[in-house]
Structure 1
Amino acid sequence: MVDYKKYHVWQRSHQLVLDVYRITSTFPKSEMFTIVPQINRAAISIPTNIAEGCGRETQKELIRFLYISSGSAHEVEYLILLATDLKFINQDESERLLTELLEIKKMLGSLIRKIKSTL
């Protein structure tokens, strides 16, 4: 088992969750049962799956959870694009979040490759 809090990708994805929650709190009330819970859940899934994978017994299991985390990062990316098109997120904030997501996805890919190379 690995301490997930030591992974830089977990730290950055945790901060992303905090940023997403801050931003979605400003969305219209009409979105409280549609895009808000969807984007919040997808964002939470990124660091949660990293943490869960670190608690598993094998490196193969960790890799599986990192792939799930990566899938959630792609989902958040789309939802940010959608929220931007709907004018719920301004362009500057959107670009900042999308840049951070790109880095998180790269970090996840790199971590997956690193772990796979040790199997």
Structure 2
Amino acid sequence: MEAHNFRNLKVWQLPVDFVEVVYRLSPQFPDDEKYGLLSQLKRCAVSIPSNIAEGSGRTSDKGFHRFLSTSLSSCFELETQLILSNRSGFLSGNVLNELIVKLTEIQKMLYALQRKLNRNDQPPHTRLFQFLFSFF
């Protein structure tokens, strides 16, 4: 396995930027949500790039893939929490839509990296077969 330097991965950089956005939204939430939904939002957002970074240190692509799956799960959890925040009146519909567009981009990138890692786990003759037939 080739070492994965997480700091060079756009799929890590975008979630780090997203964490900053979530933290900037904090003042929009009431004080009584400080340890409720807001806390969950922050922890979930931080979990996405953290798992990518941790997985990049694994000694196999399969190990890295497992942590990417956890990051992807956190994306879906975060999306749910953002929807709940909107429905509770803490986020406007426009802000929610902007955040979901960014989050969807992260989800797509995680899926793409997982597919790439899956292809790397296949025997060389299988990769050659797929390459040759990708032209048809």
Common fold: TM-score over 0.5: yes
Distance 1:25 1:59 in 2: 40
The counterpart of 2:26, out of the listed 24, 35, 54, is 24
The counterpart of 1:90, out of the listed 89, 92, 95, is 92
* 1:55-93 Cα distance to aligned partner (Å, 9 max, x none): 111111000000000000000000000000111011111
- The DSSP-based 3-state class of the residue aligned with 1:30 is helix
Residue 7 in structure 1 maps to residue 9 in structure 2: yes
The counterpart of 1:108, out of the listed 107, 110, 115, is 110
Q: How large is the RMSD of aligned CA atoms in angstroms?
A: 0.7
Which has the larger Rg? 2
- The DSSP-based 3-state class of the residue aligned with 1:25 is helix
Normalising to structure 2: TM-score of the pair? Answer: 0.85
Distance 1:25 1:98 in 2: 20
The letter of the residue matching 2:71 is S
- In structure 2, the partner of 1:50 is 52
Distance 1:10 1:75 in 2: 18
- The DSSP-based 3-state class of the residue aligned with 1:102 is helix
Aligned-pair identity (%):
36
**Structure 1 runs not aligned, ≥5 long:** none
Distance 2:38 2:83 in 1: 13
How far off its partner does 1:94 sit? 0.8
After the TM superposition, list the runs of 4 or more consecutive aligned residues in structure 1 that deviate by more than 4 angstroms.
Answer: none
The letter of the residue matching 1:93 is V
**Structure 2 runs not aligned, ≥5 long:** 122-136
Distance 2:88 2:32 in 1: 13
